[in-house]
Amino acid sequence: MHEFQLINRYFSKLTSKNKNSLNLNDDVFFDKSKKLVVSVDTYVEGTHFINFKKPDLVIKKIIRSSISDIICKGVKPKYYFIAGSGNKKSFTPTNLKKISKSLKQEQNKYNIFLCGGDTTYSDKLSFTVTCIGFSQKIIFRNNAKLNDDIYITGNLGDSFAGLNILKKKIYTNSLLNRYFENKYYLPNLHLKLSKKLLSFANTSIDVSDGLITDLEKLINKQKLSYNINLNSIPISQNLKKLIIQKKLNKLSYISRGDDYQILFTANSAKSRIINKTAKSLGIKISKIGKICSNSQKSKIIDQKGNKIDVKTKGYFHRF
């Protein structure tokens, strides 16, 4: 069973009396009257991170993945709570020092504060991060409009290349190794863009499960489809090189997630302000397609104009 099915079937009804809950159909919870935004995410060793050999980097990735949920909604994160379950091997004094140092660095970078949590013994290492921000409004899912342009920040696919290098599925030189591994561990979040998004994005999500999966999540309750140009999907010069060198499939690389870029849609009249914002903040923002009516099926078009199937949609938790 997909986690979406699980939530829809067993848990959505628990929120029915509560209009603020978004029926669990968003990455964050928003209480408009309290101006409160909350996200909760769990990270399990072996599933969300390979291992704990680099606790400093794992912790940074976990914190960034968590606050990314809130940032992509147009909200600045303020507090975080971290609940760690692990054993003596994971929580050695050396590792604890590294964890503490990494948290401090992330706090300074994103202006957030540790406000609590829990530490429990378990032979399986996992972390649950609760993140809280405050805002008058947020950008919801399922609020795309017909003919909206679809945008993405930064580049996609570098993180998946990093994962493959860490898993020793791809071999390359040490410079490229370091570049991609850093992209895997240290996603670059666009905190400065966050508040600006509220003025032009109709709907938004962070790309954590993969571009196509997250795009489908973004409009899953709407009678709409999407039309994406493969050529417009932004990738780094380093990934371009790697794709040519190793004969990789671009589409499978941009569909595997862990990118933490912001995917959003906006009215075409907003394209000037979006370009201006991108320039002034020094953030790459690419137009990659359009929101269409559901009289046509969602499609991805390659450079020759051919419609292509998406086989690797992204990551789902199955139970």
Binding footprint of its own copies on the chain (CB under 8 A): 1, 3, 6-7, 9-11, 13-15, 17-18, 20-21, 24, 28-29, 31, 34, 36, 38-44, 47-48, 79, 81, 83, 85-88, 91, 93, 96-97, 99-100, 103-104, 107, 113-124, 126, 128, 130, 132, 134, 317-319
CA 207 – CA 210 distance, rounded (Å): 6
State the nearest-atom distance from the C-beta of 18 to its own copies, in Å: 4
State the nearest-atom distance from the C-beta of 312 to its own copies, in Å: 18
* Angle at CA of residue 106, ends 101 and 111, nearest 5°: 130
State the nearest-atom distance from the C-beta of 292 to its own copies, in Å: 30
State the nearest-atom distance from the C-beta of 45 to its own copies, in Å: 9
Using the minimum distance from each CB to its own copies, give the nearer residue, 53 or 318.
318
State the nearest-atom distance from the C-beta of 283 to its own copies, in Å: 28
Using the minimum distance from each CB to its own copies, give the nearer residue, 116 or 221.
116
CA 26 – CA 3 distance, rounded (Å): 13
Residue type, position 248, single letter: L
Q: Cβ contacts of residue 185 below 8 Å, gap of 6+?
A: 54, 57, 58, 60, 61, 162
Per DSSP, the residues of 182-202 read HHHH-----HHHHHHHHHH-S
State the nearest-atom distance from the C-beta of 315 to its own copies, in Å: 10
Using the minimum distance from each CB to its own copies, give the nearer residue, 103 or 218.
103
What values do phi and psi take at 227, rounded to 5?
A: -135, 110
Q: State the helix-helix crossing angle for 191-200 and 271-281, rounded to 10 degrees.
A: 170
Using the minimum distance from each CB to its own copies, give the nearer residue, 87 or 296.
87
Using the minimum distance from each CB to its own copies, give the nearer residue, 6 or 146.
6
Using the minimum distance from each CB to its own copies, give the nearer residue, 103 or 278.
103
Q: Cβ contacts of residue 175 below 8 Å, gap of 6+?
A: none
Which helix (H) or strand (E) segment holds residue 180: the answer is helix 174-185
Q: Chain centroid to CA 276: how far?
A: 24
Using the minimum distance from each CB to its own copies, give the nearer residue, 118 or 302.
118
Contact 185, 60 (CB under 8 A): yes
State the nearest-atom distance from the C-beta of 210 to its own copies, in Å: 16
CA 291 – CA 145 distance, rounded (Å): 7
